[in-house]
């Protein structure tokens, strides 16, 4: 009996120590080194670090490219012909990526047209018409799938091409077009095709609404260059020494 009492007392003692410990830990949580930080802030930090890291990777590639070019220049010293060649190459590359050269390659040809089905009772006709946001989303989906050059009805899309839905017609690169829209995109035909045909893609959604969207793979597509005159009135290149 005495033994049992002793055991109980020691158990009580142990519990007391445990409680003391827990209380002290708990109080440390509440005061001092711990603060309330919302998950969003931590996520923001994480995101920014990830973003900066990716940009650093890209910068490193750019720098190595420039170093090579500089080395090439320095080795030419005096021979203006070689410099001329390098510069012409670079100029052609710039014109290629900005859409000022005709290009060809494999890709997809897309036909997008208004739906021909009958409307339901009281349905808004807009449901089966092509709008600018449909074109924009399809173009964006193609770019996500790695399209390198895109044109709509022969108009090459460059960085400041607009797609303006104005009533019955659509204005692209300051020229007017009406349905149907023929979109050509150069890139990996399989990926481009699936980006508009996969379940859950925007292309499928348009088909469900009843719009006509046909995607055909092709082994050789030709896309002509941007045909408008580009006048830049407001842009100025940052001069040396000025920080971004």
Beta-carbon contacts of 76 under 8 Å, excluding residues fewer than 6 positions away, are 82, 83, 86
State residue 30 phi and psi, 5-degree precision.
Answer: -75, -40
Task: Please say whether the beta carbons of 216 and 107 come within 8 A.
Answer: no
SS3 6: helix
Q: Which is nearer to another protein, 37 or 168 (CB)?
A: 37
Q: Which of 61, 170, 179 is nearest to 116 (CA)?
A: 179
Q: Which is nearer to another protein, 101 or 212 (CB)?
A: 101
CB of 123 vs another protein, minimal distance in Å: 21
Q: Which is nearer to another protein, 123 or 162 (CB)?
A: 162
Q: Which is nearer to another protein, 168 or 236 (CB)?
A: 236
Q: What CA–CA distance (Å, rounded) separates 222 from 180? A: 19
CB of 175 vs another protein, minimal distance in Å: 13
Please state whether 211 falls in left (phi above 0), alpha (psi between -120 and 50) or beta.
beta
Peptide bond into 138 cis (omega under 30): no
Peptide bond into 180 cis (omega under 30): yes
Partnered with residue 164 across adjacent β-strands are: 171
CB of 242 vs another protein, minimal distance in Å: 8
CB of 116 vs another protein, minimal distance in Å: 26
CB of 130 vs another protein, minimal distance in Å: 15
Q: Which is nearer to another protein, 70 or 119 (CB)?
A: 70
């Amino acid at each position: 009996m005495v033994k049992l009492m002793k055991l109980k007392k020691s158990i009580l003692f142990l519990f007391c120590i445990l409680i003391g410990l827990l209380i002290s830990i708990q109080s440390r949580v509440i005061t001092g080194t711990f603060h309330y930080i919302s998950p969003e802030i931590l996520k923001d930090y994480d995101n920014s670090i990830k973003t900066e890291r990716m940009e650093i990777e890209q910068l490193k590639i750019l720098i190595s490219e420039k170093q090579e070019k500089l080395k090439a220049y320095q080795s030419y010293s005096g021979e203006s012909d070689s410099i001329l060649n390098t510069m012409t190459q670079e100029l052609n590359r710039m014109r290629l990526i900005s859409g000022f050269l005709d290009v060809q390659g494999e890709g997809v040809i897309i036909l997008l047209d208004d739906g021909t089905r009958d409307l339901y009772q009281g349905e808004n006709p807009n449901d089966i018409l092509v709008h600018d946001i449909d074109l924009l989303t399809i173009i964006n989906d193609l770019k996500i799938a790695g399209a390198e050059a895109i044109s709509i009805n022969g108009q090459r899309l460059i960085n400041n091409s607009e797609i303006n839905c104005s009533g019955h017609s659509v204005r692209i690169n300051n020229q007017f077009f009406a349905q149907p829209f023929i979109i050509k995109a150069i890139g990996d035909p399989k990926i481009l095709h699936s980006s508009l045909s996969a379940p859950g893609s925007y292309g499928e959604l348009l088909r469900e609404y009843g719009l006509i969207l046909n995607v055909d793979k092709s082994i050789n597509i030709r896309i002509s260059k941007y045909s408008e005159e580009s006048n830049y009135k407001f842009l100025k290149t940052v001069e040396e020494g000025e920080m971004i």
